[in-house]
Homo-oligomer: A and B are copies of this chain.
Amino acid sequence: MNNFTYDITTIIHFGIDQLKNLADMKASGSKVLLVYGGGSIKRNGLYDDVMQILSENGLQVTELPGVEPNPRIESVRKGVELCRENELDMVLAVGGGSCIDCAKVIAAGACYDGDAWDLVLDGGKIEKALPVYTVLTLAATGSEMDRFAVISDLEKNEKWGTAADAILPVMSVLNPEYTYSVSPKQTSAGTADIMSHTLENYFNNVKGAYLQSRMCEAILKTLVHYGPIALHQPDNYEARANLMWASSLAINGMVSYGAGVGWCVHPMEHELSAFYDITHGDGLAILTPFWMDHALNAETAWKFGEYGRNVFGITGDDDMEVGRQAIECTREYFKLLNLPATLSDVGIDSTHFDIMAEKAAAGCEGSFVPLSKEDIKSIFMAAL
- How many of A's residues come within 8 Å of B, CB to CB? 42
- In the complex, A3 Cα to B173 Cα: how many Å? 11
Q: Which listed residue (B4, B225, B246) contacts A15, Cβ 8 A?
A: B4
Kindly identify, within residues 4 to 30 of chain A, every residue whose CB is under 8 Å from any CB belonging to chain B.
4-18
Q: Which listed residue (B12, B176, B208, B215) contacts A237, Cβ 8 A?
A: B208
Asked if A207 is at the interface of the complex by the 8 Å CB criterion, the answer is yes
Q: Taking A1-B15, A11-B7, A13-B5 as contacts, is the C-beta distance between A211 and B242 under 8 angstroms?
A: yes
Tell me if B207 and A211 are in contact (CB < 8 A): no
**Chain B contacts for A242, CB-based, 8 A:** 1, 208, 210-211
Asked if A254 is at the interface of the complex by the 8 Å CB criterion, the answer is yes
**Chain B contacts for A222, CB-based, 8 A:** 210-211, 214
**Secondary structure of the A side of the interface?**
mixed
Looking at A8, A226, A237, the one whose CB has the most chain B CB atoms below 10 A away is A8
- In the complex, A14 Cα to B258 Cα: how many Å? 8
Looking at A9, A13, A215, A258, the one whose CB has the most chain B CB atoms below 10 A away is A215
Who on chain B is nearest to A218 by CB? B214
**Chain B contacts for A5, CB-based, 8 A:** 11-14
Tell me if A238 and B254 are in contact (CB < 8 A): no
Q: Taking A222-B211, A225-B210, A238-B210 as contacts, is the C-beta distance between A245 and B1 under 8 angstroms?
A: yes
Q: Mark A197-236, 1 if CB is under 8 A from B, else 0.
A: 0000000000110110011011101100110000000000
Q: Name the distance in Å between A260's Cβ and chain B's nearest Cβ.
A: 12
Q: Taking A214-B221, A221-B214 as contacts, is the C-beta distance between A14 and B257 under 8 angstroms?
A: yes
Who on chain B is nearest to A216 by CB? B218
Asked if A241 is at the interface of the complex by the 8 Å CB criterion, the answer is yes
Asked if A249 is at the interface of the complex by the 8 Å CB criterion, the answer is yes
Tell me if A211 and B245 are in contact (CB < 8 A): yes
Who on chain B is nearest to A21 by CB? B5
- In the complex, A6 Cα to B245 Cα: how many Å? 11
- In the complex, A226 Cα to B1 Cα: how many Å? 13
Asked if A2 is at the interface of the complex by the 8 Å CB criterion, the answer is yes
Q: Name the distance in Å between A6's Cβ and chain B's nearest Cβ.
A: 4
